């Protein structure tokens, strides 16, 4: 009788004793492996063992190990998850062999055939132990490898938090670790904004292309919708900031339902939602397995507190950056009230682009019934410069007085009003005294504009409106200054030149009468006086012309203009006047040079008219951070506290110093002299 026939006889004996074998083996397993079977329900143990004996007898009948291989493949993973080791499995097989040997002994008479059957069973179990050991060992190895990989990823995630001081690098490394849990995985970490409660991408890893990454960066989640569901059952709405991102957003719900992608909540220490990790695979038709979801949840649970800290730091850095941008713009625009409107408009356009990282910006200001393009920066630019308020999209937004986010400019803005290169736009009204005076247009932020951009630009627009108002008032003030200067020149002409010319006329008439009467000597004296009066009138006229527009200031700079005036002072009054220049001389802004020159003229005039000084000096010191002008004389001096308001032109000097934000110091001692010091910041 061959081996196959012997095993078939053994199978018949086992089937006859099937229930007894199941009961005996269950009893032996509870005795020898109580840690695995003592608490298991008897019917489950019996069901499992009954299946084992059924597959065993089938293998014997077919003389093939395939039925047993199928059985072990279906049960091995469950045993591993229960903690049953390879030694436990082999021991269980030996206990089973004992039970079937007893069944054969009971159903087969003592003979050579029974011994041959038992020998065949021994050979079967040699093969059975071998394949069981190999399969089970492979499963255990895979389980250990998976555990090692899990530990490795957890360590990597922990490292991402503890090893990086830059919160952005922390989040990006964590996104990389999470993406590596899947085959060709990718991960986008969305963090919740404390003001809007919306969730925006802050870090990502593993995108199939830069274009795909850019599209995902325009996706936003909100806690009030129900388009998609995260692990744990929380629902979220989904939207897109531009047309490219909307294509991605449309497919996300289907990918989540097919388990090709999943959302994993990132909870704070107080169990409140802090962010979302969106994780999926670039492999077609991929399905995220339960053990992978468990691993990802474990990673996020391990590092959630650290993610919260990193996100908080990142949020504070963003707020600080925005505040710094606003502060810088406020200082630039509001601390220089003399800035021209054209310059202010240029600064507004440039800084608006920088704050939200867009490519183009324009300013439209109200001009009657139209909006007029007054300034533009970057690209794209508007196709025309005039937009009727009553019939254009921009006019509609101006009349509403509310900021608008345009997610698809090609669809939402009429063709005649926008560039063919415009994709997304943020349009914010410029408000002065409760009335919209124009619009600030910002175009083409790569990921689209969101509520955070809208809020920060609305704050910026408020400051920009104030700056425009200051510039307008400054220009109006300049016009008033010009008018006052004209009035001053008129008074000077009347008080000096006009009166001198009138005296010349009287003196000429007197000389004419003297000559007609034959009084030659008297006439000669009168003509000599007339000559002196005419020369004085000429000097006064030249001085007024010089004050009105000194050519030396334009051509030679501040030092040359002061030197020219000091030369005139020396010739006219005999005063010893000196100019000293220290450091590398450089040109200042036109308004600063003009005001410093006027102050120097006022001081020199005071010296010649009132101080009775013999020496006067002007020292210009050019330093990297400032320019200093010091005017010193050795005249009579005065008590500053006892000086009447506006005395000796000091009020004019103070006003001019304030206009250029110069630090002014006046020191004077009776009988010693006076020193006037001005320090002008280098930014002037």
Question: For the segment 42-52, what is each residue's pLDDT rounded down to a tens digit?
Answer: 888 899 899 98
Region of 259 please: left (phi>0), alpha (psi -120 to 50) or beta: left
Please report which confidence band the pLDDT of residue 637 belongs to, taking 50, 70 and 90 as the band edges: confident
Residues 123 and 13 sit within 8 Å (Cβ to Cβ): no
Percent of the chain with pLDDT over 90: 28
- pLDDT for residue 549 is more than 50: yes
- CATH top class, domain 3-146: mainly alpha
Going from the C-alpha of 553 to that of each of 221, 302, 494, 592, the distances in angstroms are 62, 71, 26, 11
Q: Buried b / exposed e across 178-215, counting CB within 10 Å, b at 16+?
A: bbbbbeebbbbbbbbbeeeebbbbbbbbbbeeeebbbb
- Average pLDDT on 416-444 reads 93
Residues listed for the chain: 684
Distance CA 239, CA 449 (A): 12
Distance CA 197, CA 177 (A): 26
**Domain residue ranges in the chain:** 3-146, 167-317, 336-548, 550-681
Distance CA 664, CA 178 (A): 63
Q: Residue 127: CB partners within 8 Å, gap ≥ 6? A: 65
- Average pLDDT on 605-615 reads 83
Architecture of domain 550-681: 2-Layer Sandwich (3.30)
Tell me the average pLDDT of the chain. Answer: 82
Percent of the chain with pLDDT over 70: 82
The continuous run of DSSP H or E covering 516 comes out as helix 499-516
Question: For the segment 359-388, what is each residue's pLDDT rounded down to a tens digit?
Answer: 999 999 999 999 999 999 999 999 999 999
Give the Cα-Cα-Cα angle 655, 660, 662 (nearest 5 degrees): 85
The continuous run of DSSP H or E covering 667 comes out as strand 663-669
- Sign for the CA dihedral angle at 521, 523, 529, 532 comes to negative
Are 3-146 and 167-317 equal in CATH topology? no
Secondary structure (DSSP) of 29-68: HHHH-HHHHSSS-HHHHHHHHHHHHHHHHHHHHHT-SHHH
- Sign for the CA dihedral angle at 472, 473, 477, 483 comes to positive
The SS3 call for residue 401 is coil
Residues 564 and 545 sit within 8 Å (Cβ to Cβ): no
Q: Which of 281, 316, 131 lies closest to 208, judged by CA?
A: 281
In degrees rounded to 5, what are phi and psi of residue 389? -65, -35
Q: Residue 132: CB partners within 8 Å, gap ≥ 6? A: 72, 89, 90, 93
Q: Can you give the pLDDT at residue 159?
A: 62
Contacts of the segment 191-197: beta carbons below 8 A, 24+ positions apart? 191/266, 191/274, 191/275, 191/311, 191/314, 191/315, 192/223, 192/273, 192/274, 192/275, 193/315, 193/451, 193/452, 194/315, 195/451, 195/452, 195/455, 196/450, 196/451, 196/452, 197/222, 197/223
HSE value, Cβ hemisphere, 13 Å, CA-based, for 114: 13
Q: Can you give the pLDDT at residue 188?
A: 95
CATH 3.30.450.40, domain 336-548, yes or no: yes
Q: Buried b / exposed e across 297-321, counting CB within 10 Å, b at 16+?
A: bebbebbbebbbbbbeebbeeeeee
Q: Can you give the pLDDT at residue 181?
A: 85
Distance CA 82, CA 66 (A): 25
Q: Determine the topology of domain 167-317 in CATH.
A: Beta-Lactamase (3.30.450)
**8-state DSSP, 648:** G
Q: Can you give the pLDDT at residue 330?
A: 67
Going from the C-alpha of 431 to that of each of 74, 88, 310, the distances in angstroms are 73, 81, 37
Q: Can you give the pLDDT at residue 156?
A: 62
Residues 153 and 299 sit within 8 Å (Cβ to Cβ): yes
Please report which confidence band the pLDDT of residue 644 belongs to, taking 50, 70 and 90 as the band edges: very low
**8-state DSSP, 194:** T
Q: Which residue has the higher pLDDT, 663 or 93?
A: 663
Please report which confidence band the pLDDT of residue 397 belongs to, taking 50, 70 and 90 as the band edges: very high
Q: Can you give the pLDDT at residue 255?
A: 92
Question: For the segment 215-249, what is each residue's pLDDT rounded down to a tens digit?
Answer: 898 999 988 888 999 998 899 999 888 888 888 99
- pLDDT for residue 333 is more than 70: no
The SS3 call for residue 438 is strand
Please report which confidence band the pLDDT of residue 482 belongs to, taking 50, 70 and 90 as the band edges: low
- Average pLDDT on 433-452 reads 90
Distance CA 142, CA 568 (A): 100
Q: Which of 440, 295, 460 lies closest to 375, judged by CA?
A: 440
- Average pLDDT on 138-159 reads 62
Residues 409 and 383 sit within 8 Å (Cβ to Cβ): no
- Average pLDDT on 595-603 reads 88
Distance CA 230, CA 132 (A): 40
Give the Cα-Cα-Cα angle 458, 462, 465 (nearest 5 degrees): 130
Distance CA 206, CA 456 (A): 31
């Amino acid at each position: 009788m061959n081996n196959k026939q012997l095993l078939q006889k053994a199978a018949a004996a086992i089937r006859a004793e099937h229930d007894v074998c199941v009961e005996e083996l269950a009893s032996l397993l509870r005795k020898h492996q109580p840690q695995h079977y003592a608490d298991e329900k008897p019917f489950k143990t019996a069901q499992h063992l009954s299946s084992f004996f059924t597959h065993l007898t089938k293998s014997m009948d077919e003389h093939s190990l395939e039925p047993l291989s199928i059985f072990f493949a279906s049960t091995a993973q469950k045993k591993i998850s229960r903690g049953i080791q390879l030694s436990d499995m082999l021991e269980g097989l030996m206990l089973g062999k004992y039970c079937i040997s007893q069944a054969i002994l009971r159903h087969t008479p003592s003979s050579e055939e029974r011994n041959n059957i038992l020998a065949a069973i021994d050979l079967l179990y040699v093969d059975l132990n071998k394949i069981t050991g190999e399969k089970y060992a492979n499963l255990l190895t895979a389980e250990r490898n998976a555990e090692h990989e899990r530990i490795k990823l957890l360590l990597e995630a922990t490292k991402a938090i503890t090893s990086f001081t830059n919160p952005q690098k922390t989040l990006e490394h964590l996104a990389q670790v999470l993406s590596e849990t899947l085959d060709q995985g990718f991960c986008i970490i969305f963090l919740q904004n404390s003001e809007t409660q919306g969730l925006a991408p802050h870090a990502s890893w593993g995108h199939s292309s830069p274009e795909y990454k850019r599209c995902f960066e325009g996706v936003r989640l909100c806690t009030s919708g129900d388009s998609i569901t995260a692990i744990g059952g929380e629902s979220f709405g989904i939207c897109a900031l531009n047309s490219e991102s909307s294509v991605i957003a449309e497919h996300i719900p289907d990918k989540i339902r097919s388990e090709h992608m999943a959302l994993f909540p990132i909870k704070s220490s107080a169990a409140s939602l802090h962010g979302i990790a969106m994780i999926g695979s670039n492999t077609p038709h991929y399905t995220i397995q339960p053990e992978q979801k468990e691993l990802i949840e474990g990673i996020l649970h391990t590092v959630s507190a650290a993610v919260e800290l990193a996100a908080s730091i990142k949020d504070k850095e963003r707020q600080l950056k925005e505040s710094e941008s606003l502060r810088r713009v406020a200082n630039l625009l509001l601390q220089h009230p003399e800035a021209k409107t054209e310059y202010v408009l240029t600064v507004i356009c440039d800084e608006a682009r920088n704050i939200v990282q867009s490519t183009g910006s324009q300013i439209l200001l109200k001009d009657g019934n139209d909006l007029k393009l007054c300034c533009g920066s970057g690209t794209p630019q508007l196709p025309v410069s005039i937009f009727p308020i009553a019939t254009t999209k921009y006019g509609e937004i101006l009349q509403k007085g509310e900021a608008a986010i345009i997610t698809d400019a090609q669809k939402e803005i009429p063709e005649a009003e926008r560039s063919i290169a415009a994709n997304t736009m943020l349009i914010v009204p410029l408000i002065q005294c409760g009335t919209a005076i124009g619009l600030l247009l910002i175009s083409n932020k790569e990921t689209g504009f969101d509520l955070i951009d809208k809020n920060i630009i609305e704050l910026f627009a408020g400051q920009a409106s104030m700056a425009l108002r200051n510039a307008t008032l400054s220009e109006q003030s300049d016009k008033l200054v010009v008018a006052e200067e004209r009035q001053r020149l008129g008074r000077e002409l009347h008080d000096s030149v006009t009166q001198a010319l009138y005296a010349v006329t009287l003196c000429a008439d007197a000389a004419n009468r003297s000559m007609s009467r034959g009084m030659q000597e008297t006439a000669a004296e009168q003509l000599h006086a007339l000559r002196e009066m005419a020369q004085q009138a000429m000097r006064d006229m030249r001085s007024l012309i010089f004050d009105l527009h000194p050519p030396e200031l334009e051509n030679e700079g501040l030092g040359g203009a002061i030197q020219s005036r000091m030369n005139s002072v020396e010739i006219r009054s005999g005063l010893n006047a000196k100019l000293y220049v220290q450091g590398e001389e450089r040109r200042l802004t036109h308004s600063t040079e003009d005001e410093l020159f006027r102050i120097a003229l006022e001081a020199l005039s005071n010296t010649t008219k009132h101080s009775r000084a013999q020496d006067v000096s002007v020292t210009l010191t050019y330093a990297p951070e400032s320019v200093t002008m010091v005017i010193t004389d050795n005249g009579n001096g005065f008590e500053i506290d006892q000086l009447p308001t506006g005395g000796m032109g000091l009020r004019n000097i103070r006003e001019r110093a304030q206009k250029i934000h110069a630090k002014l110091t006046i020191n004077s001692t009776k009988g010693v002299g006076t020193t006037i010091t001005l320090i002008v910041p280098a930014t002037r």
